[in-house]
Chains A and B, each alone.
Chain A
Amino acid sequence: MITVLFDGIAYGMLLFVLACGLSVTLGLMNFVNLAHGAFAMAGGYAAVVLSAHAGVPFLLALPVAFLVPAVIGAVLERTLYSQLYGRSHLDQVLFSIGLVFMAVSTAEYFMHSSKQFPVLPEYLKGRIEIFGIGMGVYRLFIIALCGILTLLLQGILVGTRFGSRLRAAVDDRRVASGLGINVGVIFLSTFAVGSGLAGLGGALAGEVVGLDPTFPLRYMIYFLIVVTVGGTTSITGPLIASLLLGIADVGGKYYVPALGGFIIYTFMIVVLLVRPQGLFTRGR
């Protein structure tokens, strides 16, 4: 029971790191980016290629897994995404679905369709007992790393000039540009960091769920649940939503495997019906 809860928390933390970038793109740029998972996959495959094929230690592969999608994200933001900010949600959806399809096929072409896993160092494997509870070392590592990242993000958002500008821009883009804030730079950097975090999440998730080319499609709904249920106004909303989703998903699959994905889909539909603005935002 506690082990399931523990695994659920680790999974939830992972989902948060994977999805928090999407929450910013949605809140800040009002852009529905269904291709977010493609960036996560890029990071995941970067980790797989480095650790499993090139023999680079896993911990050194992680920064690369952040940088690769961050750079791709920055380039795409400047060249393509930025042209679509003012467009209808339908256009954004079609565009990002197109990107997903291209990413899936590209991954299939280069990485084949079987599941692949990054190679972990020995010290991250195995289980340890703390207070009589068995815990996977890697899951503990995930919780610790994602926890640090969350605190770091919160610190940046609350404590820095950039963070306050970012929050101003999320609250009201017109106000932000009226204050002389360079919205373009903020968009670019948050998009790149968000994509990088997704890539890092993808690299960390590789060991847990395995990477295959359909990753962006399989997890699209999870990311969307995190941002719609958690809202886009704060970091705590998506965090709590991620943890709930992670625990519900792991617990559901453990205790009632026959129900499969029903629990989370039903959960999402019910939440959206009761609170279309998300669970943790005040209705406007």
Chain B
Amino acid sequence: MTKSELNPAVANGLKARQRWHPAEVVFWLIAFSSYFLLPGKHLILNEIAILALFAISLDLILGYAGIVSLGHAAFLGFGAYAAALFAKHINPDPLIGLAFGTITTTLLGFITSFLVLRGNDLTRLMITLGVALLLNELANQLGWLTGGADGLQGVEMAPLLGMFRFDMFGRTAYAYSLITLFVMFLIARRISYSSFGLSLNAIRDNSLRASAIGIPVNRRLIAIYTIAASFAGVAGSLMAQTSQYASLDVLSFEKSADVMLVLVIGGAGYLYGGMIGAVVFKILQDWLSALTPQYWHFWIGLILVIIVLIGRERMSQGVAGIVASFKRKTPAAPGPAAKAEG
């Protein structure tokens, strides 16, 4: 085949990558309609939206760039404390607080990103775990600032945009979190289809070859780790603002492990996995903790073990496979059509 024959296939193939699929539109229609259709569930929906954003953050480093983290809650918790302290001591406006929580967490992400560059999976696990434990210990020891083990109380938020008060049914909270989730998702989606996003996939698949085509591997990893931290910072800020509270368990190992499970349930590496996983996880959590209040982590553990034994790929194919099969059917994909000619 000559170049001119291939040109349209290449152009279409590249365009088709980032085209919105109908299933994606349906997904977001459902998400937004949930606000109106499930008026009694706004509190848990709010938690789902925040968890989904946190999972997207982990997906950016784990699913896209292949960085395994055992301490991603460090950024969620840091964002939460930053936003809560900002609201309590400096300014109760939610949007300004969100900006503050995000920017400070981004800085933390940038600084700690240099730590994850060294070594292999195991050292990364240890370093991320260590950073999260360190922050947890810090929040615990600085009781005068953070409230220590009792949590940070007395956070009161001003109305959103000066108009919408945060009510006890989570109406404002869910609208706020859902819209923020959507905006952040759009950014993540844009990143994932950019050449930067593609280069992360390349690094994940084979970092030796990635550097052999001129990709500065470390610089890209620093960038995505920082970006992911800022996403988690947004999620943490939302969490503190909508609950008007921050406590040590946002920094706990369990939080880091939970978000991994969320991503594993939904499948990593395509952004929707984190969101689907968040829905499933929260429903499971709700149901299991109603069943056995104290011991629900037993079931979480069992689910993790089973998922791994069955095989994550096979497991998430149940969810991701549906999305992927839709994508493969898009007519613009060059594969099958061109193959028939050759």
**Contact pattern, A 72-106, Cβ under 8 Å of B = 1, otherwise 0:** 00000000100110010111011101111111111
Asked if B119 and A272 make an inter-chain contact with CB atoms under 8 angstroms apart, the answer reads yes
Q: Provided the pairs A32-B122, A224-B126 are in contact, do residues A95 and B309 lie with their beta carbons within 8 angstroms?
A: yes
B interface residues with partner A (beta carbon < 8 Å): 62, 68, 70, 115, 118-123, 125-127, 129-131, 133-134, 137-138, 140-141, 253, 257, 260-261, 264, 294-298, 300-305, 307-309, 312
Cβ–Cβ contact B264 & A94, under 8 A: yes
Is A255 located at the chain interface by the 8 A CB criterion? no
Beta-carbon contact of A99 and B295 below 8 Å: no
Cβ-Cβ contact count across A and B, 8 Å cutoff: 124
- Cα distance, A13 to B316, chains bound together (Å): 44
**Which of B118, B302, B309 is A276 in contact with, Cβ under 8 Å?**
B118
Whether A241 is near chain B, meaning CB under 8 Å from some CB there, is: no
With a cutoff of 8 Å between Cβ atoms, the chain B residues found around residue A276 in the complex are 118-120, 123
* Residue of B62, B70, B120, B305 with most chain A CB atoms under a 10 A cut-off: B305
The answer to whether the Cβ of A269 comes within 8 Å of any Cβ in the partner chain is yes
Chain B: minimal CB distance from A93 (Å): 7
Q: Are A109 and B120 in contact (CB under 8 A)?
A: no
A91 and B295 contacting across the interface, CB-CB below 8 Å = no
Q: Which of A93, A98, A217, A228 contacts B123 (CB 8 A)?
A: A228
Centre residue among B126, B127, B134 by max chain A CB count within 10 A: B126
Quick one: which of B118, B121, B305 contacts A98, CB cutoff 8 A?
A: B305
Is A149 among interface residues, defined by CB-CB distance under 8 A? no
Question: Do B122 and A95 touch (CB < 8 A)?
Answer: no
B residues within 8 A CB of A91? 308, 312
Q: Is the CB of B260 within 8 A of A97?
A: yes
Question: Which residues of the other chain, B, contact A220 by a CB distance below 8 angstroms?
Answer: 253
A108 contacts the other chain (Cβ, under 8 Å)?
yes
Query: CB distance A101 to B121 under 8 Å?
Result: no
Set B62, B134, B309: member contacting A266, Cβ < 8 A: B134
- Cβ–Cβ contact B304 & A269, under 8 A: no
**A262 within 8 Å of B (CB atoms):** yes
CA distance A64 to B43 in the complex (A): 49
Would you call B118 and A105 a contact (CB within 8 A)? no
